[in-house]
Amino acid sequence: MKNHIKIFAGNANRPLAEKIAARVGMPLSVASIGRFPDGEISVTYEETVRGRDVFIIQPTGMTPNEYLMELLIMTDAARRASARRITAVMPFFAYARQDRKERSRVPISAKLVANLLVAAGVDRVLTMDLHSPQIQGFFDIPVDHLYAAPLLVRYLREKVPVENRMVVAPDPGGLKMAYSYMKLLDAGLALTGKHRTSATQVEAFQLVGDVKGKDCILVDDMTTTAGTLAAAAELTRKQGARSVRAAVTHCPITPLGIQRLKESAIEELITTDSIEPQDWGDYPITILTVADLLGDAIKRIYADESVSKLFEIHQGRTQ
């Protein structure tokens, strides 16, 4: 396998890339990624990729434009160097929230990103917890869509007593994800309604479900400014919840989001290292690694084996 597979990393999250490569059982291959004096990105592969199965690990969070351009150029370089197949490993897929036209004269940026990846030469995409699973349909190439739920559920099972668990969807859009967590955790289910007053301000105004005396777990695919989570947590506490935690897959958090979480009723945030962790100070955050999940997926893709066992989370079991 080592003679036929190459795993490269962009600059987005090298610590995660190194863990993924270790799980596969090989070191990261060497690529030089630099900048020309005018700021343009320079990529050189320092070892042959001719006829190889190339995996490029590059989440596109925090500075999405920079990291997306890096990924496109790395893909083009691999294609022109005669790689056999190129898989973009994107634990976090930027622009996923712009998946439809909510009003006139706006783009569908998620579709544009899909087009750019295909045009650059990507043959396959490996990603995790897309904001909208329908984005898989934007591609005319295979997309392997993994879920972090089994990883987060294992932690929550140990942390929260089974007889007192209550999963809370922070908005109606997250109800399907919350239902999956409810089944996996043998928990109750509640839902908060929200009204977004601006890009960073959210008001939670209604809660459906009895959370009194419960240990509540807010679940979502991602948080940036933490407005939705903080508002839902406040409402849940007002309705008598004993404790409130939040479990989110991706955390491209801003300083405003960190401050908001510190001031919120959320006593612990559980997330993954899909995006390189930020400086959280003394806030109680638990970061679980997705390296094993992605590493196992890479091994299965390379061997042309089924990846489905890694993302079947709706069958009442974790893998």
pTM: 0.92
Which one from 6, 19, 183, 194 is the annotated catalytic residue? 194
pLDDT means per 10 residues, the chain with 319 residues, are 86 98 97 96 97 98 95 98 98 95 93 98 97 93 95 95 95 90 96 68 75 97 93 94 97 93 95 91 92 97 88 45
Answer yes or no: 19 catalytic: no
Options 3.40.50.740, 2.170.8.10, 3.30.70.980, 3.40.50.2020; CATH of 5-147+291-310: 3.40.50.2020
* Contact (CB, 8 A) for 239 and 189: no
Three-point CA angle 23, 311, 284, nearest 5°: 70
Dihedral sign, Cα of residue 240, residue 204, residue 274, residue 294: positive
- Tens of pLDDT, residues 268-308: 999 999 999 888 888 899 999 999 999 999 999 999 998 88
* Contact (CB, 8 A) for 255 and 282: no
Tell me the CATH class for 149-288: alpha beta
- Residues in a beta bridge with 53: 5, 85
Say what the pLDDT of residue 292 is. Answer: 96
Say what the pLDDT of residue 69 is. Answer: 98
Where are the domain boundaries for CATH 3.40.50.2020 in the chain?
Answer: 5-147+291-310, 149-288
Q: How far is CA 7 from CA 89, 146, 290, in A?
A: 10, 19, 16
- In the numeric block, which tokens belong to residue 77? 């370089």
- In the numeric block, which tokens belong to residue 269? 């945030």
Residue partners of 1: CB distance under 8 A and separation at least 6: 25, 26, 302
Query: DSSP class of residue 84?
Result: S
Three-point CA angle 94, 95, 97, nearest 5°: 120
- In the numeric block, which tokens belong to residue 175? 């109800």
